[in-house]
Amino acid sequence: MGTEDTPQHPSRDTTRSHRTRSWWPTVIVVGLFLLAAVPLIVLQHDRGRGRYDQVNYHEPVVLRFAEQWPAPDVSDYLSATTPGYHLVLAAVAHYFSQSLIVLQLVGSLFTVGLLVVLTRWLSGRSGSVTAALLGLSVICSLYVFSAGVYILPDNAAWMLVLGILLVGLRPKTDLMFYLGGGGLLVLLIVTRQSHLWALGMLLAAGWLGRSFTPVSGGFGEIPALLTQLGRRLGRIGLVLLCAIPAIGVLGWFSRVWGGGLTVPIFQDYMQGPNPATPAIILAQMGVIGAFHAGFWWRSGLELVRRRPGVVTVSIGAGLVLLLVPATIYDKDAGRYSGLWNIVNSTPELTSHTNLGVLLLGIGGVIAISSWLSGLDARSRWVMLGALCGFAAAMAMPKNAWTRYHEPFLLIWSAIASAMIAAGAPARPSTERLLRTLGIAGLCVVLSATTVLKLSRLGRVTEPKWSQKSVQRPLGSLWPEAWLERWDHLVEEPGGEARD
């Protein structure tokens, strides 16, 4: 049923590079990002959600850590993430400069790292033009771009998530897989503890082994996953052994935080879970997948012709995720912002189900199934595991916000399309044109949204002393210098600001 030998169909081994890697896609993508981001940093652009989060949460964390250097107090601070990113910038602030321009420029280097890793990997599989466009489709996102401009830890974490996914996609379970994956996982947990789900990608890759080539596809691949159990369990044991440092780091932070999985000030904030998260993720994939259709349409048609049972089960499972949870717009239930704002204008089938989410979600199921069908068996299961693990983890917070999901979904889609391009290059010129125009169209839509939001949203010029949804005043964790600088914002116990 299955084997660990050399793949029977090397042409379908979509993880391997079939092209000469070029540096120019990386130069183009990174260059365009810096061309757009650096002026905003230098001119201190003060609009948008990214600026709001910087001023109210991440900037005070960095400056407070810098004041406390060399022994920052990580037991409580104004970020729901672990403090790795903030500690790096705090060191810069302590030893070099507290200028926001300097701190934001240093912070943007994590985004540069994300783009370099992504585009270098893409260029070896999809060709230079496609790699550049796929890379641009990621950085054009409002949420990825904003994290590259403002002091936000998001892209540092996504860079490490990407690294772990690429390690898992390597058709090897060697020293690099175990030690490299374990090392990246430690750095990831130090940066953002909610991404512990990335361990699942390593476990999936470890279970599959060096290669996974079942004789039959579709549901016939499942029995092959249960062969050679001794070897598979041995590899899982090694993965878990290498994950002990990361789990230990998370355990240490939980102990410091009084037993919670985030800092005490936010432990009662946005508690989940939200069962509608998988539905909105499928809807987002419906939108993204439409622009990537030039890559997956052929494998989708082949899937319908050869394995209709897989299609039926996939759509059935998708309908369960789309119809069982409530998907109507509801701020109190965390169903708002991003794509929720758009689908809110579409009809409601009932007081329970939004038609826009349902239709886009079905499109997402079709796109995901078609993408996966175009990959070799090993890559297919790693990518499926990555998407399922991500969706499950993102369902834990109360708010099912697009900004939590879009960066990873864009990265996942770019990788899946690049692997299809490596395994099944575009044959007719019309298909090449469809691929190019599709991703270019996605870049236009995303960049237009980014420009619109960053130019029209309100200005953020000073922090808030308190936030209704957080029981304690945010200002209780401000750096000492801020208490004097923003003295007029400090509220008296009765809730009134000082004159």
SS3 labels along the chain: CCCCCCCCCHHHCCCCCCCCCCCHHHHHHHHHHHHHHHHHHHCCCCECHHHHHHHHHHHHHHHHHHHHCCCCCCCCCCCCCCCHHHHHHHHHHHHCCCCHHHHHHHHHHHHHHHHHHHHHHHHCCCCHHHHHHHHHHHHCCHHHHHHHHCCCCHHHHHHHHHHHHHHHHCCCCCHHHHHHHHHHHHHHHHHCHHHHHHHHHHHHHHHHCCCCCCCCCHHHHHHHCCCCHHHHHHHHHHHHHHHHHHHHHHHHHHHHCCCCCCCHHHCCCCCCCCCCHHHHHHHHHHHHHHHCHHHHHHHHHHHHHHCHHHHHHHHHHHHHHHHCCCCCCECCCCECCCHHHHHCCCCECCCCCEHHHHHHHHHHHHHHHHHHHCCCHHHHHHHHHHHHHHHHHHCCCCCCCHHHHHHHHHHHHHHHHHHHHHHCCCCCHHHHHHHHHHHHHHHHHHHHHHHHHHHHCCECCCCCCCCCCCCCCHHHHCCHHHHHHCHHHCECCCCCECC
Q: What is the pLDDT of residue 14?
A: 59
Return the structure tokens found at 23. Answer: 């540096």
What is residue 65's predicted lDDT score, i.e. its pLDDT? 98
Query: What's the rounded Cα separation, in Å, for the pair 138 and 406?
Result: 9
What pLDDT is recorded for position 148? 98
> For residue 107, what are its two tokens?
């912070």
* pLDDT score, position 310: 92
Q: CA torsion sign, 237 to 189 to 467 to 143?
A: negative
Q: What is the pLDDT of residue 493?
A: 61
Closest CA to 130 of 35, 283, 18, 12: 18
User: How high is the pLDDT of residue 471?
Assistant: 86
The per-residue pLDDT for 15 is 56
Low-confidence ranges of the chain (pLDDT < 70): 1-20, 215-218, 270, 425-426, 492-499
Query: d(Cα 289, Cα 282) in Å, to the nearest integer?
Result: 10
Residue in the structure block whose two tokens are 């060399």: 70
Q: Report yes or no on whether pTM surpasses 0.85.
A: yes
Between CA 386 and CA 220 the distance in angstroms is: 21
Structure tokens at 316: 């059935």
